[in-house]
Structure 1
């Protein structure tokens, strides 16, 4: 069905006059007449009776009119929707995040929802490797992962994190001197996240423990970071956690960052360059804004410290 012919039909029906309808459509009257004749050929009869007073719908035209109106309303609605999708206003966006972005990712998604209230956005907690697998399969649009990653991914650095000790032993706080850390670890029992829920974190802990020659005594595992922190708060033991966990740690828990090269890593937002749709591009623009604001904030803080020195 040619929508252009239906538009010509509705315009004549609305104006009741071929000349005025042709003028509204910005075409010549002979062209409009040919369009109506083409539609009449498909409909199997005349759609208008023409006389000195204009054009009047025939019975056949009256039957066709409501269906033509409904079809064009749907076509116009689809056209508007496609424009909004192309502009990144609506659509679906799936975002993944890990332990180190447990605070950042939800904040950015909440900010993006305010900008795109009609978009459908999902946010799921998973390991960096699981995010990369889903990005490759097309089941995820954006991931907050730990670096390094393959150079084939689109990537925006969003900061860094490091291991910290979560503890509630206020009479025996971790030492600031990392050389004394093995002795502190040997005095305490540890809780940890199951490997499947945080393989990147587990690998980082192993690298640190190897670097400082210590083997923590693990007495219990949990399936999420909040449970690990709750157990620490209850006095069940200490735990190696991301330093960023201080944002979600219960009040009895102290988070002490570990100042050692093997304890640190960087984070990035990654995406599949071959599947960059407008909604993803809009979210990445927000991430860039956040990063630039953070960099400007750090610069301003350094400038203030310099002025006060």
Structure 2
């Protein structure tokens, strides 16, 4: 059943006259008559009786009018909603982030939400590899990841990060050069995040130790970066963490960035390039404003 037939039916019912309804619909009276006849054949009933007083609804017409008006109202509402979604005024945006973006990701979400209050937005902590998979299957709209991204994922650099040595405040710091760091890390047990919880951090740490040709041991393992830093603050030991974690470092911790090439990496936004989503474009603009 075509919506235009229902609109014609409603117009005749509301005006009570084929000629007046034709003018409202910007069509000819003969074309309108044919549309009503077609609708009557589909309905299997006569919808109007025509006489000196115009067009009067039959009992069948009365029975179908309310539902017809409801269908048209819902269709119009859907069309308006589709226009809003296409314009980026409605929808859902799911954002992923990792340890190196735990400061900028919430700020970007807040910036975006202030400008797009009707958008539902979620923020989920996950590794870069998990974000790439979630982008592919549609569970994420955009992510904050370690770069480079896979070839099928679009990306944009937002900043660089590096490993930093988190030391208890009363512990002397090593010389921040190759020889000083190599000597300091040699056979020293460290507090660390579980590799399954931070695979990117674990991989970066392994690259640094390979460059320094040393193998520090493990003093404690935990599943949360805040716990790692809390243990350092309590004097339990030292740890390697992202330098960007300076925003959450508690009192009692000195953070010393490591100036070696193997200690640095690039952070960026990532999204599925083949998907044209106005919400993703708007969110990326929020990130660019902050970065």
CA drift of 1:5 comes to 0.6
- The residue number in structure 2 matching 1:253 is 253
- The residue number in structure 2 matching 1:51 is 51
Matched, 1:195 2:203: no
Matched, 1:28 2:28: yes
Q: Please list, as runs of the form range in 1=range in 2, the aligned pairs for 1:4-43 lying within 5 A after superposition.
A: 4-43=4-43
Q: Please list, as runs of the form range in 1=range in 2, the aligned pairs for 1:84-103 lying within 5 A after superposition.
A: 84-103=84-103
Listed as ranges, the gaps of 5+ residues in structure 2 are none
Render the CA deviation track for 1:43-77: whole Å, top value 9, x for unaligned.
Answer: 22222222333322222111111111111111111
Cα distance in 1 between the residues matched to 2:43 and 2:110: 52
- The residue number in structure 1 matching 2:153 is 153
Q: Please list, as runs of the form range in 1=range in 2, the aligned pairs for 1:113-152 lying within 5 A after superposition.
A: 113-152=113-152
SS at match of 1:93: strand
Q: Are the equivalent residues in 2 in contact too, given 1:96–1:125 (CA < 8 A)?
A: yes
SS at match of 1:34: helix
Higher deviation after alignment, 115-124 or 167-176: 167-176
Q: Aligned in 2, Cα 1:174/1:8: closer, same or farther, shift over 3 Å? A: farther
Q: So what's the TM-score if we normalise by structure 2? A: 0.92
Cα distance in 2 between the residues matched to 1:21 and 1:91: 37
Q: So what's the TM-score if we normalise by structure 1? A: 0.87
Cα distance in 1 between the residues matched to 2:231 and 2:92: 37
- The residue number in structure 2 matching 1:307 is none
CA drift of 1:236 comes to 1.3
Cα distance in 2 between the residues matched to 1:20 and 1:249: 74
Cα distance in 2 between the residues matched to 1:289 and 1:129: 26
- The residue number in structure 1 matching 2:283 is 283
Cα distance in 2 between the residues matched to 1:76 and 1:116: 23
Cα distance in 2 between the residues matched to 1:106 and 1:219: 32
- The residue number in structure 1 matching 2:2 is 2
Render the CA deviation track for 1:5-47: whole Å, top value 9, x for unaligned.
Answer: 1111111122222222111111111111111111112222222
Cα distance in 2 between the residues matched to 1:250 and 1:188: 23
Q: Are the equivalent residues in 2 in contact too, given 1:98–1:127 (CA < 8 A)?
A: yes
Q: Aligned in 2, Cα 1:199/1:76: closer, same or farther, shift over 3 Å? A: same
Root-mean-square deviation over aligned CA pairs: 2.0
Listed as ranges, the gaps of 5+ residues in structure 1 are 295-309
Q: Please list, as runs of the form range in 1=range in 2, the aligned pairs for 1:125-274 lying within 5 A after superposition.
A: 125-186=125-186, 189-274=189-274
Count of residues in Structure 1 that have an aligned counterpart in Structure 2: 291
Cα distance in 2 between the residues matched to 1:139 and 1:47: 49
- The residue number in structure 1 matching 2:71 is 71
Cα distance in 2 between the residues matched to 1:38 and 1:174: 88
CA drift of 1:174 comes to 4.2
Q: Are the equivalent residues in 2 in contact too, given 1:178–1:258 (CA < 8 A)?
A: no
Render the CA deviation track for 1:183-207: whole Å, top value 9, x for unaligned.
Answer: 4335964210111111111111111
CA drift of 1:171 comes to 4.5
Cα distance in 2 between the residues matched to 1:220 and 1:88: 47
Greater share of helix: 1
Cα distance in 2 between the residues matched to 1:25 and 1:232: 75
Cα distance in 2 between the residues matched to 1:14 and 1:282: 43
Render the CA deviation track for 1:113-151: whole Å, top value 9, x for unaligned.
Answer: 223323232221111111112223333222211122233
Higher deviation after alignment, 215-224 or 51-60: 51-60
- The residue number in structure 2 matching 1:83 is 83
Cα distance in 1 between the residues matched to 2:33 and 2:153: 56
